[in-house]
Amino acid sequence: MSKIAILDTAIDAKRVKGEIVEHISFCNTDEVPSAGALSHGTMCALVLDECNTDYELVNLQILSENTSQAMGDVHILAKALKVCKNLGVDIVSISCVTSLLSDSEYLYDITRELSETAIIVSALDNGRFVTIPTSFPHVIGVSSDTLRRLPIGGLAHCDENPLGINVFANCEFPFLFEQGCGPSNSFAVPVVVAYVNDMLNKGCDQKTVLKSLRDLSKYDYSEYVKQFARLSKRANETPVVFVSAELQVLCAVLMDTFRREYEVQSSALSFVKSEYDVRTIFVENARHFLDCLSFMQMHFKTDLVFVVGTEEMVQSLERYADIDVALLANGSDLVVMRYENNQIRTQKHAVATMLYKMLSE
């Protein structure tokens, strides 16, 4: 019998079949689920029960059911993930996710380490924004089968999904409707968790389970791709800053600085391959630039988009989108900043301050 950690609200032990072997609250409260409405965490556990699985349950309460909005704290999520590692859980079920991709600073390393011993299953944001830890390559990203192509409790795999989704699941269980809840990505997660749990209970190792998920029937994502193609021609809405390839390292520094100093979320399209960063999409050639930019504007919570490429590309890219500022290398420590009909030179350490000022005017 595998051990499953549900990171969510408090779970009512009287309502679920699985034994809760541990309950840890990170919410500074002794909150107990009410006798009336089911808590979100309890409903996730009940979905496990609907799938007829045997499990030991660890309830890590990272959300309070009494908050007016289900807003969590990424630091609490990171702390709960570390507890999962210490407790030796086999499966981690996460419906509480973040679409602020800069939060990967707190979540990437711990999820990567945890994935070596546990299978992490995480929901897509219901607004279809790229989500973490869902979109990390070592996490099983899950979406609800909103197109109703699968039977209730059914699963299908999706290759190269741009939102980072690996598995689609149908979670249209009658009891959810009875509780006034329609299917959502949150409740699709425990359907996948139940499948993983069954595989582990049969003696499969982690590698076999992950292969089994990849071998599921393929989920046809073409309807969404067609919809995206129609939307991809919309007008640009996000400031775009070009960064020459020689300043690729500076681009990552700028994204971190804008988040830390100005609370600005930024992302990047790069024609130059670099180390993995969930905020960055690699673009193979200029023909794909507009589609990638439009995708980023629709599915990334980003206030600013950087584009990394060779200096010769600036003019051709301006046929597809307005470049608000271009940052070009000028020696070892100087940067040329081109904007409108102006041009200035500055030191690298001053670029973030000057760029923020330019874009804020």
Note whether residue 246 is domain-resident. yes
Q: What pLDDT, on the 0 to 100 scale, is given for residue 92? A: 98
Question: Same structural domain for residues 119 and 192?
Answer: yes
195 membership: H or E segment, kind and range: helix 185-201
Report the C-alpha gap between 131 and 279 in whole angstroms: 10
Note whether residue 233 is domain-resident. no
* Residue of 115, 127, 171, 179 lying closest to 146 (CA atoms): 171
Residue 338 has pLDDT above 80, yes or no: yes
Residue 70 has pLDDT above 80, yes or no: no
Tell me which of 222 and 357 has the higher pLDDT.
357
Q: What pLDDT, on the 0 to 100 scale, is given for residue 47? A: 95
Note whether residue 125 is domain-resident. yes
Question: Same structural domain for residues 160 and 302?
Answer: no
Residue 234 has pLDDT above 50, yes or no: no
For residue 66, name the pLDDT band (cuts at 50, 70, 90): low
Note whether residue 348 is domain-resident. yes
Residue 348 has pLDDT above 90, yes or no: yes
Question: Same structural domain for residues 163 and 279?
Answer: no
21 membership: H or E segment, kind and range: strand 19-25
Question: Same structural domain for residues 65 and 205?
Answer: yes
Question: Same structural domain for residues 58 and 146?
Answer: yes
Q: What pLDDT, on the 0 to 100 scale, is given for residue 30? A: 56
C-alpha neighbours within 13 Å on the C-beta side of residue 225? 9
Instruction: Work out the average pLDDT over 157-181.
Output: 89
Torsion sign (Cα): 29, 35, 41, 45: positive
> Where does a domain end: 193, 227, 261?
227
Least confident of 175-184, 226-235, 257-266: 226-235
Question: Same structural domain for residues 34 and 151?
Answer: yes
**Full residue range of the structural domain in which residue 309 is found:** 240-360
Report the C-alpha gap between 327 and 307 in whole angstroms: 10
Question: Same structural domain for residues 211 and 291?
Answer: no
> Where does a domain end: 202, 227, 252?
227
Question: Same structural domain for residues 205 and 109?
Answer: yes
Query: β-pairing, 266-270 with 304-309?
Result: parallel
Percent of all residues in the chain with a pLDDT value above 70, rounded to a whole number: 92
Tell me which of 261 and 17 has the higher pLDDT.
261
For residue 37, name the pLDDT band (cuts at 50, 70, 90): low
Please count the structural domains in the chain: 2
DSSP 232: T
Q: What pLDDT, on the 0 to 100 scale, is given for residue 326? A: 97
For residue 221, name the pLDDT band (cuts at 50, 70, 90): confident
CB 139 within 8 A of CB 111: yes
Question: Same structural domain for residues 193 and 269?
Answer: no
For residue 233, name the pLDDT band (cuts at 50, 70, 90): very low
Query: β-pairing, 167-169 with 155-157?
Result: antiparallel
CATH of the domain at 297: 3.40.50
For residue 281, name the pLDDT band (cuts at 50, 70, 90): very high
Q: What pLDDT, on the 0 to 100 scale, is given for residue 59? A: 95
Question: Same structural domain for residues 171 and 120?
Answer: yes
CATH of the domain at 66: 3.40.50.200
Torsion sign (Cα): 216, 217, 223, 226: positive
Report the C-alpha gap between 324 and 109 in whole angstroms: 34
Note whether residue 232 is domain-resident. no
Question: Same structural domain for residues 113 and 221?
Answer: yes
For residue 161, name the pLDDT band (cuts at 50, 70, 90): confident
CB 338 within 8 A of CB 328: yes
Average pLDDT value for the chain = 90
> Where does a domain end: 199, 227, 255?
227
C-alpha neighbours within 13 Å on the C-beta side of residue 155? 23
Report the C-alpha gap between 139 and 77 in whole angstroms: 15
CB 98 within 8 A of CB 74: yes
Note whether residue 234 is domain-resident. no
Note whether residue 106 is domain-resident. yes
* Residue of 102, 133, 129, 185 lying closest to 300 (CA atoms): 129
Instruction: Work out the average pLDDT over 117-121.
Output: 98
Question: Same structural domain for residues 105 and 249?
Answer: no
Note whether residue 235 is domain-resident. no
